[in-house]
Amino acid sequence: MIKNILDALDQHNIHTTTGVPDGWLVPLIKGLSEDKRFDYIAAAREEECFGIASGIAMSGKRSMVLIQNSGFLNAIGAFTTLCQKYQTPFVCLVANRGGINDSNSYDPNKYRSFEATTRAMSLFTHPSSWEDLPTNIPKAMARSEGAGEPAFITLYEGLKS
């Protein structure tokens, strides 16, 4: 599964990624970190991810951000004043915690606020299974470049082993 995602990223020239980890994203982050085809920049905070991805986009290259839904909520200011204002395209893969697959008491508010905020901001979000990521990430990248804005892919569960 992870190999298929990495191969798809490679084939579509998405060689730089950055993120703040979520438990669901760990297998993919490990894959990116250990594969010499890719640079994975471990950021301390999600605003940085949006800055790094925007710098890459304005350098004419592709990138992907990996964060949890609460991380997007942390970074809305940078998203609006940088990514939207400068129209920087990249893919943002979001672990959308707090939905049907989460029983943690601390996750539902993240889900509610992420859903409400992205809808209110009219942001492009597309839910995806892990199996569909090798096709959905390249499509989201193309959509992002065409629209001149980041494209969000949301995961609703962790990777089943």
Partner 1 sequence: MKQSEAFEILAAFAEKHNALIVSDIGSQSLWLKAAKDRPENLYLSGPMGMASSVALGVATAHKDRLVIAACGDGALAMNMTSLATISNTKPSNLMVVVMNNGIYEFTKSLPAPSNGVNWNNISATYPGFQNTVDLAGMDGLNPQNGPHFVHAKIEPGQLPPGPGMHAIDVHHRFKGLFSA
Q: What is the nearest approach in angstroms of partner 1 to the Cβ of residue 80?
A: 8
Strand 91-95's sheet: what is its strand order?
A: 39-42, 16-19, 63-68, 91-95, 151-155, 125-128
Contacts to partner 1 from residues 105-144, by CB under 8 A? none
- Which of 26/41 has CB closer to partner 1? 41
**Measured on CA atoms in the order 56, 145, 14, 121, is the torsion positive or negative?**
positive
Angle, alpha carbons 113-84-111 (nearest 5°): 15
Binding to partner 1 by residue 91, rule CB under 8 A?
no
Tell me the window of 28-36, 83-91, 107-115, 131-139 that interacts with partner 1 (CB under 8 A): 83-91
Query: For residue 37, which phi and psi values (nearest 5 degrees)?
Result: -70, -15
Of the candidates 134, 158, 147, 156, the residue with the CA atom closest to the CA atom of residue 64: 134
Residue 86: CB atoms within 10 A of its CB come to: 11
Tell me the window of 22-30, 81-89, 126-134, 139-147 that interacts with partner 1 (CB under 8 A): 81-89
Interface residue with partner 1 among 4, 7, 11, 58 (CB under 8 A) is 58
Rounded to an integer, what distance in angstroms lies between the CA atom of residue 63 and that of residue 52?
A: 9
- Which of 59/103 has CB closer to partner 1? 59
Interface residue with partner 1 among 32, 66, 78, 95 (CB under 8 A) is 78
Site residues (vs partner 1, CB under 8 A): 16, 18, 39, 41-45, 47-48, 50-61, 63, 77-78, 80-82, 85-88
